[in-house]
Amino acid sequence: MSVVAALAYALLGGGALLALVRVARGPSLLDRVVATDTLLVVIACGLAVYAALERDPTLVPVLVVVSLLAFVGSVSIARYVGGMLLRSEGDGPAA
């Protein structure tokens, strides 16, 4: 394994570890969602680095699925939280 590959994997591992710490500590739901999205991006980058180093194009569909999972998950949570905020604003006293 080359020095560049080892450095890339070390940096990706550090990023994944920091994202896992943020998922565990929170403090809010949105912090955890952003950390999970970051973790999925780090996983996709790790797969891309592996595919590039091994010259293996069979991982491209896996990268697409991981990217779509990250996108759909983030949009779903954003819509859910946005709906909660709209409902909580409407529960106030009528003016």
Could you tell me if 19 and 38 are in contact, meaning their C-beta atoms sit under 8 angstroms apart?
yes
Res 3: pLDDT = 93
Q: In this structure, is residue 37 part of a structural domain?
A: yes
Res 91: pLDDT = 60
20-69 pLDDT, tens digit per residue, is 999 999 888 888 888 999 999 999 999 999 999 999 899 999 999 988 98
Q: In this structure, is residue 56 part of a structural domain?
A: yes
Q: In this structure, is residue 17 part of a structural domain?
A: yes
Which pTM does this prediction carry?
A: 0.79
Q: In this structure, is residue 72 part of a structural domain?
A: yes
Least confident piece of the model among 12-21, 45-54, 75-84:
75-84
Q: In this structure, is residue 75 part of a structural domain?
A: yes
Q: In this structure, is residue 84 part of a structural domain?
A: yes
Q: In this structure, is residue 14 part of a structural domain?
A: yes
More confident residue, 89 or 61: 61
Res 43: pLDDT = 92
CA-CA-CA-CA torsion for 37, 18, 44, 53, nearest 10 degrees?
170
Could you tell me if 69 and 41 are in contact, meaning their C-beta atoms sit under 8 angstroms apart?
no
Number of structural domains in the chain? 1
DSSP code per residue over 65-89? HHHHHHHHHHHHHHHHHHHHHHHHH
Domain that holds residue 29: 3-90
Cα separation, 59 vs 28, in Å, equals 34
Q: In this structure, is residue 95 part of a structural domain?
A: no
Q: Is the pLDDT of residue 93 over 70?
A: no
